[in-house]
Amino acid sequence: MQDQPFLDRLMNDISRHLPADLGRLRQEVEHSVRAVLNETMTRLDLISREEFEIQQQVLERTRAKLEALEKQVAELEGDAAPAAAGRGAPDQG
């Protein structure tokens, strides 16, 4: 993923720090820096903010379902415990 606005802002910052009297060399430096930054961003294997937020929502839903299932299992275990205790002792009648 390439975050073009970020890359453009970064390039503007870099360009501001380059001497203005470099002429053609300035353009070559900017081109080379942009190429290196593009390659670096690609290698980082970043995701977009939108993808991150979608995954965050999926995680929140999964967590809510897990909590509901844990509660359900605890209730079922609670119901099963008294029944098991009642069957465990033989009648002495």
For the cut 70, the answer to whether the pLDDT of residue 1 exceeds it is no
Tell me whether residue 93 is in a domain: no
Cα separation, 30 vs 11, in Å, equals 7
Supply angle C-alpha 78, 69, 79, rounded to 5: 15
pTM of the model: 0.48
How does residue 75 score in pLDDT terms, banded at 50, 70 and 90? very high
Spatial contact of 33 and 14, defined as CB atoms under 8 Å apart: yes
Tell me whether residue 92 is in a domain: no
Q: What is the pLDDT of residue 92?
A: 57
Give residue 21's domain range: 1-46
Q: What is the pLDDT of residue 89?
A: 56
Q: What tokens appear for 24 in the block? A: 């053609």
Does residue 53 sit in the same domain as residue 37?
no
Spatial contact of 1 and 48, defined as CB atoms under 8 Å apart: yes
